[in-house]
Amino acid sequence: MKQIVLAITGASGAAYARRLAQCVLSADAHLHLVVSPHGARVVAAELDIGKVTPETLVGGPAPHATQHPYGDVGAQLASGSFHTDGMVICPCSSNTLAAVAAGTAANLISRAAAVTLKEARRLILVPRETPLSQIEIANMLRVSQAGGIICPAAPGFYLRPKTIDDLVEFVVGRVLDLLGLPHELRTRWDPAAAE
């Protein structure tokens, strides 16, 4: 069973995190969830979830999910000896982006990201901020140069989305592709269908 880390931080875009968590579990992977205090605040504001747990996030049972405390830098995710198959920070706040770029490892999210990079595993950051300052662009470059992947929450429109869920699923499908997880979300360009 693949081990996937999902970190939720304080940028708008909780719907992306919820759908990603659902899809990770649907792909028979184990979900390791870490939520920052600001991430919990955004989830509460955007999804009306009072206390974020794997079950409340996905809206049902989550038997293959483990939640890890944000402040526990001694948790198993903080060690390279604990094998994971990838980590996604979704949504990724500019503050978390800066912490990952600087390698601060001051909390479990930035520590797990540093471990993911040092172990040459897949680290995907899904920033949703706009516009971007030169500082944020420089931090994205630093993360990319260290081996991370920047996957902005920028949905495509070539599939002619009809709902907000269509836009969310496009971004989530791209992240699932980067993780190598199977899915049935509509993300593929098909020139024949476009004609």
pLDDT at position 190 is 77
Say how many domains are in the chain: 1
Contact between 179 and 124 (Cβ < 8 Å) = yes
Strand order in the sheet with 123-127: 65-67, 30-35, 3-8, 86-92, 123-127, 149-150
**10, 132, 139, 142 from 135: Cα distances, Å:** 18, 8, 6, 11
Euclidean distance between CA atoms 181 and 195, whole angstroms: 29
Single out the residue of 152, 143, 155 nearest to residue 104, CA to CA: 143
Contacts of 195 (CB under 8 A, 6+ apart): none
pLDDT at position 192 is 72
Whole-prediction pTM = 0.96
**9, 83, 101, 175 from 56: Cα distances, Å:** 16, 26, 31, 22
Q: Which domain holds residue 133?
A: 3-194
Give residue 153's identity as a one-letter amino acid code.
A
Contact between 114 and 105 (Cβ < 8 Å) = yes
Which CATH number is 15's domain given? Answer: 3.40.50.1950
Contact between 60 and 47 (Cβ < 8 Å) = no
Give the count of beta carbons closer than 10 Å to the beta carbon of residue 182: 12
Q: What is the DSSP letter of 147?
A: T
Q: What is the pLDDT along the chain (195 residues), one digit of tens a residue?
A: 999 999 999 999 999 999 999 999 999 999 999 999 999 999 999 999 999 999 999 999 999 999 999 999 999 999 999 999 999 999 999 999 999 999 999 999 999 999 999 999 999 999 999 999 999 999 999 999 999 999 999 999 988 999 999 999 999 999 999 999 999 998 888 777 655
